[in-house]
Amino acid sequence: MSAFYVKGNCESGSLVLKMSQGNVEKEIDLSSNDGEKVDMDSFCAGLIKLVLTTKSAKNLKVIISWRR
């Protein structure tokens, strides 16, 4: 599987990235995330749904990169 990297932050509130594929789900708190490589071992090749959820978040910044 490819390498998946996320980085995010917000001035206030919360910011969460939810990844899902079938019955597999993973949540990553991006509220003050300095960047991390996401473990993709539980996902299969194919469509993976990404959803960003915010709660009273202000001044958001999210960087997502997918490398082969």
Tell me the per-residue pLDDT of 12-59, one tens digit each, with 9 for 90 and over.
999 999 999 999 999 999 998 889 899 888 899 899 999 999 999 899
Residue 67, pLDDT score? 77
Residue count of the chain, please give it.
Answer: 68
Residue 1, pLDDT score? 58
Domain residue ranges of the chain, discontinuous segments joined by +: 3-67
For residue 19, the cross-strand partners are: 26, 50
Residue 12, pLDDT score? 92
Instruction: Report the predicted TM-score, pTM, of the whole model to 2 decimal places.
Output: 0.85
Taking the mean position of all CA atoms in its chain, how far away is CA 52?
7
Residue 39, pLDDT score? 87
